[in-house]
Amino acid sequence: MGNIISCRGVEKIYRQGTVDVSALRGIDLDIDASDFATLSGPSGSGKTTLLSLIGGLDRPSKGEITVAGENIARLSKDALADLRLHKIGFVFQSYSLVPVLSAIENVEFILRLLEMPSAARHARAREVLSEVGLAGLENRRPSKLSGGQQQRVAVARALGPRPALVLADEPTANLDSKNAEDLIQLMAKLNETSGITFLIATHDPRVMVHARRHIELIDGRIVSDDRTQASAAA
């Protein structure tokens, strides 16, 4: 299928006062299209930093990152924003929903940026909310939804533009066991049925049991990269 992500010699150095701190050190990584992979490792290992670089939210200090055939270091700000808008979906630990918008309006928000016509936008938002199990709750604001439901809205928002890649940063961290299991099974199903590539930063074993690939980082370096059969429960 080919790679949807390719990292070569990626380093990220942050300046803290007078000291340079290496968050990532020489990362070489390929992620196949339609893969379902996790990034694990202790706090400070570089998981979130790597996701941010792959998603074009930050730029590497050294090395190259290619996403969906585009070398993101060579893209202008506008071209990078266009890549994120059309090819990459983001799911954050904190949900990051707009509190004054309903579930369907939160999903439509990204579709507006794509200049999708109103009727098509509304239909697509309803479709993805149904896919994530929220049919009938489209008009509720985040404050009227449970944590698990809010995270499903966040997933629906990420899926709205039909991205090739979804990057998720600790998506189950604020969820109870049942909602966490439901969410990761939903992601695994979407990966299987739609071919969306998922790269998930997590230390949650409930997530890792469903993944086919496990990449572990320690101190900014990849220390293991294993492919396994996902759990039969997936």
At 1 the pLDDT is 60
pTM over 0.85: yes
How far apart are the C-alpha atoms of 106 and 157, rounded to whole Å? 7
Q: What is the mean pLDDT of residues 37-63?
A: 94
Q: What is the mean pLDDT of residues 150-178?
A: 93
Q: Which amino acid is at 233?
A: A
Higher pLDDT, 101 or 233: 101
**Per DSSP, which regions of 41-173 are E strands?**
62-67, 70-71, 88-92, 165-169
Cα within 13 Å of Cα(160), Cβ side: 32
Q: Report the share of the chain in percent with pLDDT over 70.
A: 97
- pLDDT exceeds cutoff 60 at 232: no
At 230 the pLDDT is 57
At 228 the pLDDT is 74
Q: pLDDT digits over 70-106, tens only?
A: 999 899 999 999 999 999 999 988 888 999 999 999 9
How far apart are the C-alpha atoms of 165 and 162, rounded to whole Å? 9
How far apart are the C-alpha atoms of 183 and 165, rounded to whole Å? 17
Per-residue pLDDT band at 234 (split at 50, 70, 90):
very low
All domains in the chain, ordered by first residue:
3-227 (3.40.50.300)
**Nearest alpha-carbon partner for 106 in 143, 58, 77:** 143
- Edge-first strand order for the sheet with 70-71 is 19-32, 3-16, 62-67, 70-71
User: Do you know the residue count of the chain?
Assistant: 234
At 229 the pLDDT is 61
**Nearest alpha-carbon partner for 154 in 135, 134, 139:** 134
At 95 the pLDDT is 86
Q: Report the share of the chain in percent with pLDDT over 90.
A: 80
